[in-house]
Structure 1
Amino acid sequence: MQLHVIARGKIGRSPEAELVDRYLKRIAWPVKITELPDTGGAIPDAPAQSRTVLLDERGRQMSSEDFAALLGKWRDDGVRETRFLIGAADGHGDAARQSADLLLGFGAMTWPHMLARAMLAEQLWRATSILAGHPYHRSG
């Protein structure tokens, strides 16, 4: 299953970009990044058999194990691509929220979208590591 991060805003050369690259390079699954301008720019069409996850401060909070289990289930069910949408400063509109398969939150606090991208990259690495039985994740 391909993991596709679709993010508003250009990350450029920044400390956050280094973190994103560090984690995404470790993932054995196919990963694609699409950057869009803060406003405008079309979100790529979703392929057949895909899931869409919107990062949203009001979204569901999950443990890393539960997130990994969900990705593993989607993969095993034949989902070809899971898309993770990170909005700009104003987040996502109501229509996007309603059409998503999952609203995912990293806590009740609002995070800068560049930091949210780094946090997502780490959680994708952690989830795929859990599914592969890699010792990176240590549950307590």
Structure 2
Amino acid sequence: MRLIIVAVGRMKSGPERELCDRYLDRARKGGRPLGLSGPDVIEIGESAGRRPAERMTEEATGILAALGEETAVLALDPKGAEISSEDLAADMAALRDRGVRALSFLIGGADGLGDVARERADRMVAFGRATFPHQLVRVMLAEQIYRATTILAGHPYHKA
């Protein structure tokens, strides 16, 4: 199953990008023996719209255009259900075992995800109720994907 991160905005050079790249590389290496490829990252340009609703709609259109038709979609949203690392790993394994070809993770822009992106999501999850900068959310997601691969592989990283 191919893992894809679709995120609004560009990850700039710096420590956040380095950390994100490190976790993505680890997830790629750890996921291969588990039947997982990626995670690949697709960056969607930020909207130049004047109003939040306009920006969210434009960005959501870009997100939907980047999604393949045969993908499950997990959207990160502060109003989503809180999910444990074990739950994420179990969800990924269940989708893979059902023959789902891809799992796309959505990260919206500064204003959040537009309605059409939320409606496309099979599940909406949150990393708690706090608000985080988008670059950190991408790092946190990359780490959780890596952690899920270690859980599925029975690796001790998860318990460290």
- Secondary structure at the residue paired with 1:126? helix
Amino acid at match of 1:9: G
Structure 1 or 2: more helix by fraction: 2
Structure whose alpha-carbon radius of gyration is higher: 2
| Aligned position for 2:83 | 62
Distance in 1 separating the partners of 2:14 and 2:109: 17
Please, which of 31, 44, 65 is the counterpart of residue 36 of structure 1?
Answer: 44
Amino acid at match of 2:86: E
2:68 equivalent in structure 1:
46
- Is the partner of 2:158 in helix, strand or coil? coil
Question: Among 98, 116, 140, which residue is 2:119 paired with?
Answer: 98
Q: CA deviation at 1:80?
A: 0.8
% same residue: 47
Equivalents in 2 of 1:10, 1:92: separation in Å? 16
Instruction: Note the aligned Cα RMSD (angstroms).
Output: 1.4
- 1:33-87 per-residue CA deviation (whole Å, 9 max, x = no partner) reads 1111112562313232x20111100111111111111111011011111001111
Contact 1:16–1:118 under 8 Å retained in 2: yes
- Does the CA-based 8 Å contact 1:47-1:81 persist in structure 2? no
- Partner SS for 1:3: strand
**What is the distance in 1 between the residues matched to 2:120 and 2:42?**
19
Q: Which residue of 1 aligns with 2:51?
A: none
TM-score, normalization by structure 1: 0.92
Q: Given the two structures, how large is their TM-score scaled by the length of structure 2?
A: 0.81
**Worse-matched range after superposition: 53-62 or 89-98:** 89-98
1:120 aligned partner, one-letter code: L
- What is the alpha-carbon distance in structure 2 between the residues aligned to residue 98 and residue 45 of structure 1? 13
Which 4+ runs in 1 deviate beyond 6 A? Answer: none
* Structure 2: stretches of 5+ with no match in the other structure: 48-57
Deviation at 1:12, TM superposition (A): 2.0
Q: Which residue of 2 aligns with 1:4?
A: 4
Task: Check whether the contact 2:67–2:104 (CA below 8 A) recurs between aligned residues.
Answer: no
1:13 matched to which residue of 2?
A: 13
Distance in 1, matches of 2:87 and 2:8, equals 26
1:88 aligns with 2:109: yes
Cα distance in 1 for partners of 2:155, 2:111 equals 37
Checking the alignment, whether the CA contact within 8 Å between 1:52 and 1:84 is kept in structure 2 is yes
**Structure 2: distance between partners of 1:14 and 1:83:** 25
Write the distance in 2 (CA, Å) between the matches of 1:2 and 1:126.
Answer: 16
